[in-house]
Amino acid sequence: MKKIFTLVLTLVATISLFAQSDKQVKWTFESKKIAENTYEVHMTAEVGGNYHIYAQNAGDGPVATTFNFTKNPLVAMDGAVKEMGKQKKVFEEAFNSDVRFFEKKVDFVQVVKVKGKAKTSLAGKVEFMVCNDKECLPPATVNFKVAVGG
C-alpha cells in the first residue's frame, strides 16, 4: 500500500512540474522609440490552450500579473504599466468573486524616459498565474531585460 501511495504521489508531483504557468505563456519583450529619449517597452504574453492570464487588478483570489523593475538610475518610469487587450470580467466560483483576465494575448506597455543619450536597459521580472475552467497552475516568475536608449 505504501508503494502504491508513493508511486501515485511521485506521478502527481511529476505531472505538476510539467504543467507550470510559464509553460502556458510565451513572453516577448521589446522596446519602441516614441520620442526623443522616450520608449515604450512592450511585454507581451501569448497564452496557450484554453488558459487565461490575470490582469494587474485581477480581483480577489487569483495572483495578479505584477511587474517589478530593477532600479536603474538612467531610466525613469513614465506612468504605470498599461494593459492592451480584450479584458474579461467574470465571476469565478473557485475564488467566489469577480476577476479580470485576458485570453490568448495581452500587451503590457510601460513608457520609460532615458536620461541623456545613454544606451542601457530596463530589466525586471513579471509574476503571473494562469487558469482555465478546470484548474489553476502555480504562479510563475519570468525575468526580462530590454535594451533602451542610445
Domain 2-149: which CATH class?
Answer: mainly beta
Give domain limits for the chain: 2-149
Residue 21 in grid coordinates: 504557468
Amino acid symbol at 93: E
Residue 76 in grid coordinates: 525613469
Q: Tell me the pLDDT tens digit for each residue of 104-120.
A: 999 999 999 999 988 99
5 CB neighbour count, 10 Å cutoff: 9
Q: Tell me the pLDDT tens digit for each residue of 41-97.
A: 999 999 999 999 999 999 999 999 999 999 999 999 999 999 999 999 999 998 999
Burial of 6 (0-12, 13-18, 19+ CB in 10 A): exposed
CB 55 within 8 A of CB 100: yes
Supply the pTM of this predicted model. Answer: 0.84
Question: Helix, strand or coil for residue 116?
Answer: coil
pLDDT above 90: residue 10 = no
